[in-house]
Structure 1
């Protein structure tokens, strides 16, 4: 804003700013795990660039609060309360998005948890839930989206993996298994659907300052990981949201297959 003789005026957006605001105009997106962190930031960033956005997670109160922000951005939000570890729920939200808006152009599979502990002490109930959410839920939602995307010869699936999908560390065996799985699934999927003009991107963030570490039930592992994270300038959810928005706003002949993003201070 600038002030001129007592009159406050708002500068007209530049051509570049207007272009950025409209990169995703008329595109329909569904973001899972949208109640916090990367999912929340991604929903907002896609809305800023003109998309209409459906948001899915378990926490209704968080989704409703986010929906108000999205509505203010003109995103015409659709709130979908769902447990993405349930394959039927994962497929339902895709179909509800398609019914509500008429189609689905961008699916961001972000929902996930991180349970870290030594293999010998592992709680297999937790690990089974992590596999179901991080891998099977992602696959189920993707499967549900493919028919419409292939029929229209247009669509983009973004899967959130991790640096743990490239480097397997002690106490992260099952988590790494899920994230290596997301990378492998994404590449195989890309090779199945590229001829249908459906694009697939996998994003591999390093340490991000989110709620993800709060899920860790093994106290010693949680303390060690938090101390390591606190030793660096961590990525913020917005950093990853901007990467995702960049990928899905490229021209249709460009498919950014894989993006690895670490904090500058993160070695491994």
Structure 2
């Protein structure tokens, strides 16, 4: 990954932060794009003080002007984006009849429309360069539905279908796509007021373990692509 340009959208904490540290350790030039720039700057500072190279840029993933500006600045200042990691998202995990419509709408806009907008904008540049890798993280709920996850799973299944269609669409463009169905990660997502679940974070995967999987997917030989894997903590095994 030496000197590769890696754009991590949602790089202010959790999985995004862990991915940033992993890529920087591998020699990549990492760009942390996030709504919360202050948190992203703290991550970048840790990386830079450790001898890595990290930059921060603000973005609102549901606003075209903001996304376009992000990609333009990265490509103009650093060069063509080699790897895009879509590590952002929100969650509403509640019984259907308890979900507030405004919460559902916001989540769908971020998880589905935001993913579309960021991916389309970056892939437009990648297709011109005829190279690049896109790593999607729809989670295990983008493959296996769960009780009380109806709208959240809908948003994650949308990302899975979106990505599988793009794989077919870009087989000859040089752009490669990876789906990582990661389940049960110990992040702040579980502390959200819109997530009605009691979980054991000590039994979950760590963000660092997820970062290793993302790095592995992005670091495949030029002539190959890791299309889709499922990574679960032992306590969450699916049959």
The TM-score range, normalised by the shorter chain, is over 0.9
Calculate the aligned-residue CA RMSD, in Å: 1.6
Aligned to 1:88, the other structure's residue is in SS state: helix
TM-score scaled by length of structure 2: 0.94
- Distance change in 2, residues 1:75/1:189 (3 Å): farther
Q: Point out where structure 2 has 5 or more consecutive residues left out of the alignment.
A: none
From the superposition, tell whether residues 105 and 73 of structure 1 become closer, same or farther in structure 2 (CA, over 3 Å).
Answer: farther
Determine the C-alpha separation between the residues in 2 that align with 1:239 and 1:133: 25
Tell me the matched-pair count: 238
Residue 103 of structure 1: SS of its match in structure 2?
A: coil
Once the 2 structures are TM-superposed, how far is the Cα of residue 232 of structure 1 from its aligned partner?
A: 6.3
Asked if 2 retains the 8 angstrom alpha-carbon contact of 1:47 and 1:73, the reply is no
Corresponding position of 2:113: 136
- Structure 1 equivalent of residue 236 of structure 2: 266
Larger Rg over CA atoms: 1
Larger deviation, residues 87-96 vs 59-68: 87-96
Using the size of structure 1 for normalisation, the TM-score is 0.84
CA distance in 2, matches of 1:169, 1:34: 27
Kept in 1, the 8 Å contact 2:186–2:202? The answer is: no
Contact 2:35 2:59 in 1 (8 A): yes
Alignment of 1:19-30 (within 5 A): 24-30=1-7
Task: Indicate whether 1:146 and 2:123 are aligned.
Answer: yes
Structure 2 residue 84 is matched with structure 1 residue 107: yes
Equivalent of 1:91, from 60, 63, 68? Answer: 68
Question: Residue 241 of structure 1 corresponds to which residue in structure 2?
Answer: 211
Q: Indicate the residue corresponding to 1:79 in structure 2.
A: 56
Q: Please give the alpha-carbon distance, in whole angstroms, between the structure 1 residues aligned to 2:56 and 2:161.
A: 30
Counterpart position of 1:257: 227
What is the CA–CA distance in structure 2 between the aligned matches of 1:234 and 1:62, rounded to whole Å? 23
Q: 1:151-170 CA deviation, whole Å, 9 max, x = no partner?
A: 22110011111111112122
Match of 2:39 in 1: 62
Determine if contact 1:86/1:132 at 8 Å carries over to the other structure: no
Tell me the equivalent position of 1:40: 17
1:84, 1:133 within 8 Å by CA — same for their partners in 2?
yes
Q: Secondary structure in 2 aligned to 1:95?
A: helix
CA contact (8 A) 1:90 1:138 kept: no
